[in-house]
């Protein structure tokens, strides 16, 4: 496993997991009966639902219209700024984002 200097949270459908190399994360549920009305978890779920709707619109009328386009988790990577980091961060060159610890990936 490559070292990364980020904190992560996986939000999503209860019971969902994410596995990458030797790392397995278990989803914190989007919401349950104890989640506050204005919780950031609920906000992320609404953003996820908007992404599903947008995907359906983009795919409509194409040969991929019947493809599955539902997303059951959102992985959030958080890293310290360069000033706050205890390690030297790499320069991200593709999008001109400056220094990063995790590059763009899917």
Q: Which domain holds residue 61?
A: 6-81
pLDDT value, residue 69: 84
Is residue 95 a part of any domain in this protein? no
* Assessment of whether the complete model's pTM goes beyond 0.75: no
CB 92 within 8 A of CB 82: no
Is residue 61 a part of any domain in this protein? yes
Is the pLDDT at 27 greater than 90? The verdict is: yes
Read off the pLDDT of residues 38-82 as tens digits, 9 standing for 90 and up.
888 889 999 999 999 999 999 999 999 888 888 899 988 877 666
Is residue 90 a part of any domain in this protein? no
Is residue 11 a part of any domain in this protein? yes
Confidence grade of residue 102 (pLDDT, cut at 50, 70, 90) = low
Is residue 10 a part of any domain in this protein? yes
pLDDT value, residue 84: 65
Domains held by the chain: number: 1
CB 16 within 8 A of CB 24: no
Is residue 43 a part of any domain in this protein? yes
């Amino acid at each position: 496993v490559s070292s990364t200097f980020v904190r992560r949270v996986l939000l999503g459908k209860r019971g969902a997991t994410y596995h990458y190399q030797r790392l397995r994360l278990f989803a914190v549920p989007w919401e349950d009966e104890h989640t506050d009305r204005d919780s950031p978890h609920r906000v992320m779920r609404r953003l996820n639902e908007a992404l599903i709707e947008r995907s359906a619109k983009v795919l409509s009328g194409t040969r991929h219209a019947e493809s599955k386009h539902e997303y059951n988790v959102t992985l959030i990577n958080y890293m310290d700024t360069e000033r706050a980091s205890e390690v030297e961060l790499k320069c991200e060159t593709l999008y001109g984002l400056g220094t990063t610890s995790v590059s763009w990936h899917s």
